[in-house]
A and B are shown apart, each in its own frame.
Chain A
Amino acid sequence: MTLINNKNITRAVLILSFILINVLLLLGISKVLDFLNSGADRSSMLHLEKETFNTYLPKVVWERSENPGRIMELNTLKKIEKDYLFSWYVKNKSLQENSKSGIADYYTQNTRQNLYNTLKYNIKNEITIESTTLKHNPKLDFYSADGQLVVFTDKNVVEFQKIYQKKKLIAAVQDTATYKVMMLFEDGFWRVRHLQKIEKTIFSSDTTKSNPVFKVKGDKITTNNLNFTIKGINYYPKNSAWDTFGNSFNIDIISKDFDIIKNAKLNTVRIFIQYEDFGKADVKQEKIDKLKKILDLATSKNLFVIVTLFDFYSDYTLENWTLTHRHAEKIVSSFKDHKAILAWDLKNEPNLDFENRDKNNVLNWLEQMITVVKESDPNHLVTIGWSNSTEATHLANKVDFVSYHFYNAIEDLEKETKTFEQITKKPIVIEEFGVPSYKGIWNLNGANEEEQAQYHKKMQELFKKNNFAFMSWTLYDFPHVPDQVAGKWPWQKKRQKRFGFINVNGGKKPSFLYINH
């Protein structure tokens, strides 16, 4: 008797294949039904998707004016503003994609021909133009008695554009221009009838007085006319690394941590704000409140804070510039008078995005962001946290002090920083440095806790000798590190978890002795 009966095998195969075919058939049918059920999105029928919110948000400031016609209603003004911005948005979009989409909604019949002509010409010559406007300062000139016609002057519109021919970048151009605009109310849309670029207007410069706590004098940061050397630390709560303002936000824990920092005689803390976490262009009040709590806490502990914006943001495309501007504006202007803030750090290590996001794009974005932040908050310093001293030369003349991160060999610290001091006259801050105490299968050459302590000891000696401003990375070892930070692989993550002066159980590591000099 054979244990394996050939007949049984055939049967089994037959039954199994029958089941398999059935499963596949059902899957196929469900896919087809699924496809047939998908269709036009109902919300698109009523143009409801056309909200400028989170699409295009350049700064718009209406100048007060007496127009000779009808008194302007506030809601009409809002509608005009919205449609006018959309007219720019569809124009920008069409120049970028060389498509007519949306133009008919925001330009009258005669006027849209002019844009179509431009598109035709650009298509022929393979020209595409990415552009965005950053600021509008409209002033109402006329509003007709029947509320159907409006004329206004949009003063000093700041336009930023990148020109491509045959997909090759030709140049990036910033232009400021004043436009006179006539719009008609047709079919529920305010549409552009006449648009004319006119002479630029000269603005009286802003008279908002700044009242800074920290100033830059030569290569020194000063407060109350005394030199201030930053002795600081990068900070995340132990259990919410890269998520300070998330659900596990607990001001008591932060308070205890600030006590540790204060007792170590450090004077500055660097914290991070994640772009998406704070709600992108529509900044969440809840997050602002949490940030305020931290800043108030810092004030009470007599600590200063460097707030790093745009963490985990890496888009930089012109299309989204205005959204990031509104994000920064909202946060920065909310705290423009807060005494705890030392500086706004615009972006952590933006040079890491140079390769994937186009270097010029990143630099242009940063440069504009400096302007936006300075305008919204003239009281605090601005810096950018470059990941090494070579890249830190970018925009060095635009920031108030230059920050870079030092993860090289100890011997290079003095050389690098001194070389850099020759290049820039601004104060220099070593905004991050440190070494993980991880020696294990993923990092055989790594340092153990003792070696980490030695590293910090040597670094502190150098800081003391040269009076360098420093901020170490970081207060805690982290039990959990999100993938976005260093990567998802264990050899990337393990290192990142052990940079702290205090281990995951709350015990001080040997390096804690050398947290300061």
Chain B
Amino acid sequence: MRKVVYIIFLMSIVLLVAFGTSLETTKKANFILDTKTKFFVAGKEVKIQFTSNLQATVPQLYIVHSYGKTLIQGTNKNGKLTFKLPQIYSNKTGIVSWFLIFNEEIVTQGVFEITPNRNKQTKIENYLGPRSILAGGKQSTMMVAVPTDGLDNPVIENTPVLIKNQFFNNITIDARKTKNFIAWKNIFSDRQIGKILFSTECKNIVTKEIDTEVCPNIASNFSIHFTRNHEFADGNQITTLSTSIIKDQFDNIVSDGTLVTFIIINQKSTILKTFGTTIKGIATGQLLHPDHPDLYTVKGYITGISESNSLFINYKPILSAFNFTFSDQNRTITVGPLKSFMNQLVPDGIKVTVKIIHENKLVATLQEDSSNGITTFHILADFYKAKNYRFEITTLGITQKSQLKYYDLNQ
């Protein structure tokens, strides 16, 4: 019996020696966090220390940082575990969660915070927009300043930032405090157009200037007038339509390039259009004189924004009657010479039409342009085979009728 006890005792000694080392790891490991501080400054060394009853094995520290996650291998000096945060993480601010991992288990966990480094030189990013606004005080531009410490971390909340802006003689400096990474200010436009310059300052660091353009507001109503060489409907000269200096309601001249549409309605209610864009507030449009007497009603529009007064332009006829002759056995009609208001020949290219009528039915309409005041029509025997025709000749808004003409050869 005693032998058995001895053997068992000896066996257990042997077993203890054999598995002694592994027993250390299987006994309940405990870890106590030694690092009491919860705050570290960015850019400085961050060390987390634990006291443990483990003498040799080193657990791993898993960290979740704003910009990444990683495992840190620590050191174990007689039960003092030390984990040093890699610099890439200790440079960046924010809460860091850590999990001490031992044998695939999270044995303890916690958080610490890395705060911005006040000693590193501040940098400021400015975001300004919209970069162009309308005059008049209803629109605003927003200056957003994002100050960071030298390690590109947003500065702590409530850091004062000076937002400065200048418009003509008016210089404003406004102190704002950062919240949600940013300090910001809205600046409303004035009645005047011009540039608002901005800059910001934080912890004695200043930025370059940036600007927002204050553009003229939308145009108010305007007036139009016209100029022309003469008042005759010669189909050749040009009437120039132009606007008054178009301004917004605050007396700023509208931006160059504002499109003005001139809508022209003639006596037959046909709508004609011409366009002009403003330069220094004035837009001009051009209009060819009609080739017949007419009355034009003109109105200018800036689409959807403003309009002008109505303007009436009267075009007088350049002649009251014209001559035409038949020759070549009535096969040729010569119209003209057409003479203008001071008895000069009309400009080339005046349209002349001839309606050929047989027994009160329109057979054909011929059209030619004048040259040197003369227009010639040929009534070809192959086409016009009836015994007689009547003709109506129209040019420059005047129509004259011929007598009935007989064509002997066609009998």
The answer to the question of A115 belonging to the interface, with a C-beta cut-off of 8 Å to chain B, is yes
Q: Are A117 and B144 in contact (CB under 8 A)?
A: no
CB distance from B152 to the nearest CB of A (A): 6
Choose the segment among B90-98, B224-232, B356-364, B370-378 that binds chain A (4+ C-beta atoms closer than 8 Å): B90-98
The chain A residue sitting closest to B93, CB to CB, is A196
Contacts of B88 in A (CB 8 A): 114, 117-118, 121
Q: Are A196 and B180 in contact (CB under 8 A)?
A: no
Contacts of A180 in B (CB 8 A): 180-181
Choose the segment among B67-75, B257-265, B285-293, B295-303 that binds chain A (4+ C-beta atoms closer than 8 Å): B67-75
CB distance from B180 to the nearest CB of A (A): 4
Q: Are B86 and A121 in contact (CB under 8 A)?
A: yes
Contacts of A146 in B (CB 8 A): 127, 129-131, 142
Q: By CB atoms of chain B within 10 A, which of A127, A173, A184, A196 has the most?
A: A196
Q: Are A145 and B129 in contact (CB under 8 A)?
A: yes
Q: Are A171 and B104 in contact (CB under 8 A)?
A: yes
Additional A-B contact list (7), CB under 8 Å, known A163-B69, A165-B60, A171-B104 = A110-B152, A114-B67, A118-B68, A127-B70, A165-B71, A197-B66, A197-B94
Contacts of B96 in A (CB 8 A): 197
Interface residues on chain B, size class: 35 or more
Which residues 136-157 of B sit at the A interface, judged by CB distance below 8 A? 140-142, 144, 146, 152-154
Q: A interface vs B, CB < 8 Å?
A: 69, 95, 110-111, 114-115, 117-119, 121-122, 125, 127, 129, 131, 141-142, 144-146, 148-149, 151, 153, 159, 161, 163, 165, 169-171, 173, 175, 177, 179-180, 182, 184, 193-199
The answer to the question of B50 belonging to the interface, with a C-beta cut-off of 8 Å to chain A, is no
Report which of A131, A144, A145, A163 forms a contact with B71, defined as CB distance below 8 A: A163
Q: Are A171 and B97 in contact (CB under 8 A)?
A: no
CB distance from B130 to the nearest CB of A (A): 5
Classify the interface of chain B: helix, strand, loop or mixed: strand
- Nearest 8 interchain pairs by C-beta: A146-B129, A118-B68, A145-B142, A114-B67, A117-B88, A197-B94, A196-B94, A197-B95
Q: Are B66 and A173 in contact (CB under 8 A)?
A: no
Contacts of A141 in B (CB 8 A): 180
Q: Are B129 and A173 in contact (CB under 8 A)?
A: no
CB distance from B81 to the nearest CB of A (A): 16
Contacts of A117 in B (CB 8 A): 67-68, 88
Chain B 36-78, CB-CB to A under 8 Å as 1, else 0, gives 0000000000000000000000001010111111110100000
Q: By CB atoms of chain A within 10 A, which of B68, B140, B182 has the most?
A: B68
Q: B interface vs A, CB < 8 Å?
A: 60, 62, 64-71, 73, 86, 88, 92-97, 99, 101, 104-106, 127, 129-131, 140-142, 144, 146, 152-154, 180-182, 184, 186
Q: Are B127 and A177 in contact (CB under 8 A)?
A: no
Contacts of B105 in A (CB 8 A): 171
Contacts of A149 in B (CB 8 A): 127, 144, 182
The chain B residue sitting closest to A129, CB to CB, is B69
The chain B residue sitting closest to A199, CB to CB, is B95
Contacts of B92 in A (CB 8 A): 114
CB distance from B162 to the nearest CB of A (A): 19
Q: Are A163 and B62 in contact (CB under 8 A)?
A: yes
The chain A residue sitting closest to B154, CB to CB, is A194
Give bound CA distance, A131 to B62, whole Å.
13
CB distance from A104 to the nearest CB of B (A): 15
Q: Are A171 and B99 in contact (CB under 8 A)?
A: yes
CB distance from A6 to the nearest CB of B (A): 76
Q: By CB atoms of chain A within 10 A, which of B129, B131, B144 has the most?
A: B144
Q: Are A195 and B66 in contact (CB under 8 A)?
A: yes
Contacts of A110 in B (CB 8 A): 152
Report which of A129, A144, A170 forms a contact with B184, defined as CB distance below 8 A: A144
Q: Are A69 and B154 in contact (CB under 8 A)?
A: no
Contacts of A121 in B (CB 8 A): 68, 70, 86, 88
**24 A-B residue pairs with CB within 8 Å:** A69-B184, A110-B152, A118-B65, A118-B67, A118-B70, A122-B68, A125-B73, A142-B184, A144-B129, A145-B141, A146-B130, A146-B131, A163-B101, A165-B71, A170-B71, A171-B105, A171-B106, A179-B66, A180-B181, A194-B146, A196-B66, A196-B93, A197-B95, A197-B96
Contacts of A169 in B (CB 8 A): 104
Q: Are B64 and A175 in contact (CB under 8 A)?
A: yes
Report which of A115, A170, A175, A195 forms a contact with B101, defined as CB distance below 8 A: A170
Give bound CA distance, A105 to B408, whole Å.
91
Report which of A122, A182, A184 forms a contact with B70, defined as CB distance below 8 A: A122
Report which of A131, A148, A196 forms a contact with B127, defined as CB distance below 8 A: A148
Q: Are B64 and A177 in contact (CB under 8 A)?
A: yes
CB distance from A171 to the nearest CB of B (A): 4
CB distance from B317 to the nearest CB of A (A): 60
The chain B residue sitting closest to A360, CB to CB, is B104
Give bound CA distance, A294 to B136, whole Å.
65
Contacts of A125 in B (CB 8 A): 70-71, 73
Check A182/B181 contact, CB under 8 A, given A144-B142, A196-B154, A198-B94: yes
Q: Are B69 and A131 in contact (CB under 8 A)?
A: yes
CB distance from A130 to the nearest CB of B (A): 10
Q: Are A173 and B181 in contact (CB under 8 A)?
A: no
CB distance from A120 to the nearest CB of B (A): 8
CB distance from A184 to the nearest CB of B (A): 8
Check A194/B181 contact, CB under 8 A, given A117-B88, A146-B142, A170-B60: yes
The chain A residue sitting closest to B133, CB to CB, is A145
The chain B residue sitting closest to A169, CB to CB, is B104
Q: By CB atoms of chain B within 10 A, which of A119, A122, A173 has the most?
A: A173
CB distance from A167 to the nearest CB of B (A): 13
The chain A residue sitting closest to B97, CB to CB, is A175
Contacts of A95 in B (CB 8 A): 68-69
Q: Are B95 and A173 in contact (CB under 8 A)?
A: no
Contacts of A119 in B (CB 8 A): 68
CB distance from B259 to the nearest CB of A (A): 26
CB distance from A67 to the nearest CB of B (A): 10
The chain B residue sitting closest to A110, CB to CB, is B152
Q: Are A170 and B180 in contact (CB under 8 A)?
A: no
Give bound CA distance, A169 to B93, whole Å.
29
Give bound CA distance, A123 to B152, whole Å.
24
Q: Are B71 and A127 in contact (CB under 8 A)?
A: yes
